[in-house]
Amino acid sequence: MTVHFHEASQSVTTADAAYAGLDERHAVQSGPGTFKVYRALGKRIFDIVCVLMALPAVLPVVLIMMILVATDGGNPFYSQMRVGRHGKSYRMWKLRSMVQDADAKLKDYLESNPEAKREWDHSQKLKRDPRITRVGRFLRKCSLDELPQLWNVLRGDMSLVGPRPMMIEQRDLYPGRDYYALRPGITGLWQVSSRNESSFADRARYDALYNRELSFFTDLRLIVATVGVVCRATGH
C-alpha cells in the first residue's frame, strides 16, 4: 500500500517535509518514555487489534479477489521470502498479480530490453511490467494484492507500518541498518514519499527517518494517508 503526502515531489526531501514538525506536535502529547513503550510493546498490540478489527471486512474482499485471480488459472496466492527484523527471513503472502512463469518472463524481457534492465537494476521495479495480468493490474492499483500480508502482521513477521519488505537478493543493495531494527510494513514512509521511483539509498534514508520518529501518532498518520491512496487507486 502506498501513500503520497506531496504528489508533486518524489525526492528524498519529501520525506523530510513529511516529518516536518512531528517532534514538536508529539512532544505535547507524550514524552520519550511513552515512545519507548510504544516501540517495545504498544506497536505490536496496535497491529493485532487493527488486524482483528479489519478481518470481518477484509475476508470477503479477499475471497472475491481469489476467485477473480483464479480465472487466470493457477494459485490465487503468491509467496516470496523476504528479509525481516534482525535479518531473519520470512515468507510474505500476496494475491497473485503476475503470470505463472513470472521469473522466466522477467529474465527474457530484461535481456531484450536494456533500458528496462537499467530501471530494474536501479530500483528492482518496472513501471511497465509485462508480467502483470489484467486482474493483477487492478489489484495493484487498489493495493488489494497486499491484503494477505495481514496474516504476516498477525504472525509477527510484519507490522502495519514499517520499511518496505526487502527481497533476500536485495540485501547487498541496501546501504543502511535501520531496516533490520524494524518489522517490515504493509505501508510506510517510503511509500508516502516516492512510491516506486526511490533508490535503495533513498529507502535507507526513509527507514532511518521512520525509525527516528517512530510513535503511535506517526503510524496513525501514515495509516490514515494510506486509506486515501487506496480510495484514489494510485498503486502500481
Domain positions in the chain are: 12-97+132-232
The overall longest dimension of the chain from CA atoms, in Å, is 56
Reading the block at residue 218, the C-alpha cell is 506517526
Neighbours of 96 (CB within 10 A): 24
Question: Do 48 and 154 form a contact (C-beta atoms < 8 A)?
Answer: yes
Question: Residue 90 pairs with which residues in a beta bridge?
Answer: 82
Cβ-Cβ contacts under 8 Å for 204 (sequence gap 6 or more) = 174, 175, 176, 178, 179
Q: Give the strand order in the sheet containing 89-95.
A: 89-95, 77-83, 166-167
For the whole model, what pTM was predicted? 0.79
Q: Please list the alpha-helical segments (H only) found in the chain.
A: 12-18, 22-29, 32-37, 43-70, 102-112, 114-123, 134-141, 149-155, 189-194, 200-213, 216-232
Question: Cell 530494474 identifies what position?
Answer: 120
Model pLDDT, residue 73: 76
From first to last of its 236 residues, the chain has per-residue pLDDT tens of 444 444 333 444 444 444 444 433 333 344 455 678 999 999 999 999 999 999 999 999 999 999 999 887 788 999 999 999 999 999 999 999 988 878 778 888 888 888 888 888 877 778 888 888 889 989 988 889 999 999 999 999 999 999 999 999 999 999 999 999 999 999 988 776 655 567 888 889 999 999 999 999 999 999 988 887 777 765 55
Compute the chain's Rg from CA coordinates.
18
